[in-house]
């Protein structure tokens, strides 16, 4: 019986549970025994010229080895929006690193950093995209504008809306979020005999190596990057950022090993933020529920430096039309810099923003025409016969069963029963009202499939196997899944399969994990490598048994090769590996995909709103998240749960806020309302598998789907709970005060 699709517990767990994972700050290696501790001096102002740095008082503190500033670091590339390692002549966000203090002991760092005197000449802060768009104050004087890039796609123009019975337009904010992985950023560097070893809490050791080598002017072969256990990434630990690069150059500059682990307060201003789009959607259709036109205009806040925010906005643009078959759909974006923390990928990275906009728009359209929001969706979903479906914005969806996903969720939630309960409470004027919110979504995974992923499989002479994967799990359970693949393909039991990742010496060439790419690319690479190993083994076995290859079969249950029907001829993997010659029994594969894949689903959120206080509580959340074939339901469900929680958090609780001067107001976990167990129910997951043909496993990515689907469902549910009071819209997060204000305004408007 195949292990594929069965519930397999994680091989990663025992070590993590009994001894704890080994994250960067846990490393106790000989190379780091004499490491100095790094503490950053960060800008307390959002926008200023640096007119002087005086580290003399700090240098006199006990245990201070040195204080690095921009004067010590390698030169930058001089491009208009270039981002230095340590700020040189100006700072562009609160939290920007300005100096780096190295101390012998950990506790000495903050003491010394407090004494580094930096003189700032404040500049007018640009907070908010409106201010940025005026270009009155330029963050980068060498550029001509705060607008870094613009884009547009699709076929929606003013004429598209002309023939619509109903046209709605709304400006809304997909608010700035903090990723908050439980482990912040951390790195350690040791330079010995001309070779730099760099440990980093990263999702991409190989990409990190390239960045370090490039920044420091080193031959990549002289750099080894190791990702130990990583305590969550969510897209915010892709490769290395400037703070981590500072640690690398500090090791070279100081001639000592250096280690760093940021505090949470640093993390909330220093790690990239997510989302941060100002959106204007326009939706037009007929009174009987047909959507004819949709346009989404996005202003992407990049923060103080553009990094990858342009990519995020372009993904929003690509996915703007969502699951709907809209004749005229389009989007446009402008990406602007502001004096805030740089914006980067955060679980969904551009796609939650697209989904949130259109799902809000569709629900608002449904309310406007007085039609049930499920029915409006049903009437406009791309139907199964249309796949592969190319949208006006240029995405080609591979496979989908959007109507079936909607129906499954409605049935599992007892939609009619919920609406009946809602009606009863409305009639009674209950102080606690019920809201039902829907979201139908499609998302793009492995958009960089052409870059592929590597996988090397070695069968050893004792019959065990090692997988060297280019993927880089930080909680997703790849070691379990890849071992399952090997067992299924080769019959080598999982407990004899070792999986290695995240070490550039062992795996020099790889992309790593982000964008929900790893199973379809990294898993397919393992699958393909296993297939190649199987072919090699067949050839070897044929020679050893003196039979023809065609007569040989692999018994996957026993893991032996034999002449068909003659078990006495059986050869073990160990025996074959021993005869494999000097190159051993192995295969080294880069699997590339011809196209991305498009998982999809439906989320239904049930919310109770206390109409007196405005407090909304999520009481049920029912989903289909269809990511093609499921290799291990345990892992898939875990990804869905985590995604749903983060998505609900955006709808109800979380928001990074700045004051008018660019000072962060949510820079500790006491102020940033990361969601906890008490605010969430248990989730109701419905199974659905619509395979893709893009890769041999038939799988799509699931890591971000839950987040993408859940946010608009929860937001729609809150609004739905009080729509009978006249509320049409509530911004995220739908805090109690916002809900109360919406109710009050609606009542006053009557």
Partner 1 sequence: MIPAPFTYQRAGSADEALSLAAAAGEDAKFLAGGHSLLPLMKLRFAVPEVLIDIGRLRELSYIRDEGDHIAVGALTRHHDLEHSGLLTRELPLLALAAGRVGDPQVRHRGTIGGSLAHGDPASDLPAVALALDATLVARGPSGSRQIPAGEFFLGLFETALEPGELLTEIRIPKPPVPGWSFQKFTKRAIDWAIVGVAVQGQRVALVNMASAPMRAAAVEEALAGGAGPEEAAAHAAEGTNPVSDINAGAAYREHLARVLVARALTESAART
Partner 2 sequence: MRVNGTEVAAEVEDRLLLAHFVREVAGLTATNIGCDTTSCGACTVLLDGESVKSCTVLAAQADGCEVTTCEGLAGPDGQMHPVQQAFHTEHGLQCGFCTPGMVMAAVSLLAENPDPSEQEVRAALEGNLCRCTGYHNIVRAVLAAARAGVREGGAR
Residues of this chain that interact with partner 2 (CB under 8 A) are 9-10, 12-14, 16-23, 25-26, 28, 106-107, 179-184, 229-232, 234, 263-265, 474-477, 634-635, 637-638, 641-646, 668-670, 674, 676-678, 680, 682-683, 706
CA–CA separation, 718 and 368 (whole Å): 17
Interaction partner, residue 461 (partner 1, partner 2, none; CB < 5-8 Å by kind): none
Q: Which of 147, 174, 513, 666 binds partner 1 (CB under 8 A)?
A: 666
Residue closer to partner 2 (CB basis): 550 or 670? 670
Q: Does 464 bind partner 1 (CB under 8 A)?
A: no
Q: Using alpha carbons, select from 200, 589, 250 the residue that is nearest to residue 209.
A: 200
CB distance 436 to 720 below 8 Å: yes
Please report how close the Cβ of residue 717 comes to partner 1 at its closest, in angstroms.
17
At 537, give phi and psi (nearest 5°): -65, -40
CB distance 653 to 715 below 8 Å: no
Q: Does 741 bind partner 1 (CB under 8 A)?
A: yes
Interaction partner, residue 736 (partner 1, partner 2, none; CB < 5-8 Å by kind): partner 1
CA–CA separation, 611 and 295 (whole Å): 33
Please report how close the Cβ of residue 382 comes to partner 2 at its closest, in angstroms.
29
Interaction partner, residue 500 (partner 1, partner 2, none; CB < 5-8 Å by kind): none
H or E element that contains 747: helix 736-749
CA–CA separation, 750 and 746 (whole Å): 7
Near partner 1 by CB under 8 A, which window of 23-31, 94-102, 103-111, 325-333? Answer: 103-111
DSSP characters for 597-612?
B--EEEEEEEEEEETT
CA–CA separation, 330 and 312 (whole Å): 16
Residue closer to partner 1 (CB basis): 264 or 729? 264
Q: Does 2 bind partner 1 (CB under 8 A)?
A: no
CA–CA separation, 522 and 530 (whole Å): 12
Q: Does 653 bind partner 1 (CB under 8 A)?
A: yes
Q: Does 663 bind partner 1 (CB under 8 A)?
A: no
Does residue 388 have a cis bond before it (omega within 30 degrees)?
Answer: yes
Near partner 1 by CB under 8 A, which window of 70-78, 274-282, 663-671, 706-714? Answer: 663-671
CA–CA separation, 643 and 637 (whole Å): 10
Residue closer to partner 2 (CB basis): 95 or 477? 477
Residue closer to partner 1 (CB basis): 114 or 368? 114
Which 579-618 residues touch partner 1, going by CB under 8 A? 612-613, 615
CB distance 239 to 211 below 8 Å: yes
Q: Does 725 bind partner 1 (CB under 8 A)?
A: no
CB distance 426 to 461 below 8 Å: no
In sequence order, which ranges of 579-687 are alpha helices (DSSP H)?
Answer: 633-652
Please report how close the Cβ of residue 39 comes to partner 1 at its closest, in angstroms.
10
Say how many residues touch partner 1, by CB under 8 A. 28
Residue closer to partner 2 (CB basis): 380 or 476? 476
34 C-beta neighbours (distance < 10 Å), count = 10
Residue closer to partner 2 (CB basis): 266 or 626? 266
Q: Using alpha carbons, select from 516, 515, 354 the residue that is nearest to residue 440.
A: 354
Please report how close the Cβ of residue 24 comes to partner 2 at its closest, in angstroms.
11
CA–CA separation, 219 and 194 (whole Å): 10
Near partner 1 by CB under 8 A, which window of 224-232, 260-268, 358-366, 723-731? Answer: 260-268
Q: Residues interacting with partner 1, by CB under 8 A?
A: 106-107, 109-111, 114, 263-265, 612-613, 615, 653, 657, 665-666, 668, 671, 673, 675-676, 678-679, 735-737, 740-741
């Amino acid at each position: 019986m195949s292990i594929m699709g069965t519930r397999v517990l994680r091989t990663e767990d025992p070590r993590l549970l009994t001894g704890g994972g080994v994250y960067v700050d846990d490393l106790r290696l000989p190379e780091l025994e004499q490491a100095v501790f790094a503490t950053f001096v960060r800008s307390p102002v959002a926008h200023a010229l640096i007119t002087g740095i005086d580290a003399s008082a700090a240098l006199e503190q006990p245990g201070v080895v040195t204080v690095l500033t921009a004067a010590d670091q390698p030169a930058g590339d001089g491009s208009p929006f270039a981002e230095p390692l340590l700020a040189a002549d100006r700072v562009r966000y609160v939290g920007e690193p300005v100096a780096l203090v190295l101390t012998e002991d950990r506790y000495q760092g903050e003491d010394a950093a407090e004494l580094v005197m930096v003189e700032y000449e404040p500049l007018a802060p640009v907070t908010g995209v409106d201010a940025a768009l005026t270009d009155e104050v330029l963050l980068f004087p060498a550029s001509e504008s705060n607008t870094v890039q613009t884009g547009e796609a699709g076929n929606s123009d003013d004429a598209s809306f002309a023939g619509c019975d109903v046209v709605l337009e709304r400006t809304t904010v997909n608010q700035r979020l903090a990723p908050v992985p439980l482990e912040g950023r951390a790195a350690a560097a040791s330079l010995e005999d001309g070779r730099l070893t760099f440990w980093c809490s990263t999702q991409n050791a190989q990409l990190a190596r390239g960045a370090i080598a490039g920044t420091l002017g080193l031959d990549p072969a002289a750099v080894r990057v190791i990702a130990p256990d990583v305590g969550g990434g969510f897209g915010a630990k892709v490769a290395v950022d400037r703070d981590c690069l500072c640690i690398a150059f500090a090791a070279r500059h100081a001639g000592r090993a250096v280690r760093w682990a940021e505090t949470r307060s640093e993390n909330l201003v220093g790690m990239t933020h997510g989302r941060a789009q100002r959106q204007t959607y326009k939706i037009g259709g007929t009174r009987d529920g047909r959507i004819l036109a949709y346009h989404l205009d996005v202003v992407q806040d990049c923060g103080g430096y553009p990094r990858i925010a342009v990519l995020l906005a372009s993904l929003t643009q690509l996915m703007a039309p969502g699951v709907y078959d809209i004749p005229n759909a389009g989007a446009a974006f402008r990406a602007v810099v502001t004096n805030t923390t740089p914006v980067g990928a955060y679980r969904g990275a551009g796609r939650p923003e697209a989904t949130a906009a259109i799902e809000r728009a569709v629900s608002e359209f449904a309310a406007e025409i007085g039609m049930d929001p499920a029915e409006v969706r049903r009437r406009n979903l791309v139907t199964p016969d249309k796949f592969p479906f190319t949208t006006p914005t240029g995405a080609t969806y591979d496979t989908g069963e959007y109507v079936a996903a909607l129906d499954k969720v409605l049935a599992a939630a007892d939609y009619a029963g919920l609406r009946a309960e809602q009606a009863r409470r409305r009639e009674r004027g209950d102080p606690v009202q019920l809201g039902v919110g829907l979201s139908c979504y499609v998302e793009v995974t492995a958009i960089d499939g052409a870059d592929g992923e590597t996988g090397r499989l070695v069968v050893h002479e004792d019959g065990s196997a090692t997988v060297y994967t280019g993927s880089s799990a930080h909680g997703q359970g790849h070691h379990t899944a890849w071992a399952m693949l090997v067992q299924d393909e080769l019959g080598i039991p999982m407990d004899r399969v070792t999986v290695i990742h995240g070490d550039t010496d062992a795996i020099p060439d790889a992309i790593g994990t982000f964008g929900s790419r790893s199973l379809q690319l990294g898993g397919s690479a393992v699958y393909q490598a296993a297939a190649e190993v199987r072919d090699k083994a067949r050839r070897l076995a044929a020679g050893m048994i003196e039979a023809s290859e065609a007569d040989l079969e692999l018994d996957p249950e026993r893991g032996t090769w034999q002449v068909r029907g003659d078990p006495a001829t059986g050869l073990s993997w160990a025996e074959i590996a021993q005869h494999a010659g000097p190159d051993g029994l192995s295969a080294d594969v880069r699997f590339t995909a011809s196209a991305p894949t498009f998982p999809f689903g439906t989320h239904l959120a049930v919310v109770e709103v206390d109409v007196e206080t405005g407090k909304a509580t999520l009481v049920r959340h029912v989903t289909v998240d269809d990511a093609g074939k499921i290799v291990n339901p345990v892992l898939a469900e875990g990804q869905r749960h985590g995604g749903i929680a983060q998505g609900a958090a955006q709808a109800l609780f979380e928001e990074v806020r700045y004051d008018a001067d660019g000072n962060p107001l949510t820079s500790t976990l006491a102020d940033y309302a990361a969601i906890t167990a008490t605010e969430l129910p248990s989730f109701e997951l419905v199974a659905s598998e619509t395979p893709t043909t893009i890769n041999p496993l038939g799988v799509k990515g699931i890591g971000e789907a839950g987040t993408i689907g859940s946010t608009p469902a929860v937001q729609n549910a809150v609004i739905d709970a009080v729509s009978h009071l006249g509320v049409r819209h509530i911004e995220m997060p739908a805090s109690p005060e916002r809900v109360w204000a919406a109710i009050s305004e609606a009542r006053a408007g009557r």
